[in-house]
Structure 1
Amino acid sequence: MSDLSALFAPGCVAVVGASEERGSVGHAITTSLRDEFDGEVVPVNPNHKTVLGQPCVDGLAEADAVDLDALLAVDG
């Protein structure tokens, strides 16, 4: 059986579609993780330099230490 700790207990997660727009899925997920998650949160959005005060990366290739990169937070 493979190690599933990255899925069930990640130390760092990327939020693709992270946003500062209140009411958006990207804002809700990023805010919730920032407030409740003990690990690092990496916002991913090519349209922003920062999201909620955290440096934002353009894509997953730039998120080096990410354990879980499957949180997609896109509206529509």
Structure 2
Amino acid sequence: MTHELSPADLAQRLESLESRLAHQEHWLDTLDQAVVQQERRLEKLEQLSGLMRERLREQHQALQASEPQGGQRPEDDVPPHY
């Protein structure tokens, strides 16, 4: 049993497929733009993280350099009455 479609039915199906394809292309473009924006944001965050790590390393080194050689800091000393 062969069910043939009329030219009008074929035209309607083709139009429906074209409409669905256009809709999917639109969403793919939208998603692509979102991925590009997220990639840029991630790059900025990674750069900021690297700068923060470097600054923390510098502060840690400066703190170690300013500590007395005995390893004790004045704030670590227990007052004589304790």
Query: Max radius of gyration: which structure?
Result: 2
Q: Which has the higher helix share?
A: 2
TM-score calculated relative to the size of structure 2: 0.18
Q: Which has the higher strand share?
A: 1
Q: Which has the higher contact order (CA 8 A, sep 6+)?
A: 1
